[in-house]
Amino acid sequence: MPLASNHMSRNLLTVAPHVALTEVAQSMVARDVGAVLVFEDARLVGILTERDVLRAVAGGLDEGTVVADWMTRDPDTLDSDESTRQAATLMIHGGFRHLPVMEGGEVVGMLSIRDLMRVALDDSAPRGT
């Protein structure tokens, strides 16, 4: 079974909980990422996803809205030596699409549902091309 560490993204976008949500959303668009990791005092305290941003907009976003208002606190994580199958199981049962990957107590990457689809489809080509 493939390991999470072989398929995760290492190019992470990280923010602090007090940063304005609109600023983070702009960074997410610029970097083309669906989730950011939230750190406070060098410790992972949350994750903010595109779904969270959408919920914030639907709930009536104002200028004072910050990441901490909408992030998921204490997100589930995966160890880098765990399998992509375990990652998929956590995502399906947890109802989320992004999973921070840990190694020795430190965040080293992010695994997304898209990463898992690449593993599942390995050598497949769209529409037989």
Closest CA to 73 of 51, 52, 53, 45: 45
Q: What is the pLDDT of residues 95-122, one digit of tens each?
A: 999 999 999 999 999 999 999 988 888 7
Closest CA to 14 of 35, 66, 23: 35
For 45, phi then psi, to 5°, come to -115, -10
Q: What is the pLDDT of residue 125?
A: 62
23 conformational bin, left if phi > 0, alpha if psi -120 to 50, beta if neither? alpha
CATH 3.90.25.10 fits 4-122, yes or no: no
Closest CA to 2 of 84, 91, 77, 79: 84
Q: What is the pLDDT of residues 26-70, one digit of tens each?
A: 999 999 999 999 999 999 999 999 999 999 999 988 889 999 999
d(CA 125, CA 121): 8
Which helix (DSSP H) or strand (DSSP E) does residue 67 occupy? helix 67-70
Q: What ranges do the domains of the chain cover? A: 4-122
Q: What is the pLDDT of residues 68-81, one digit of tens each?
A: 999 999 999 999 99
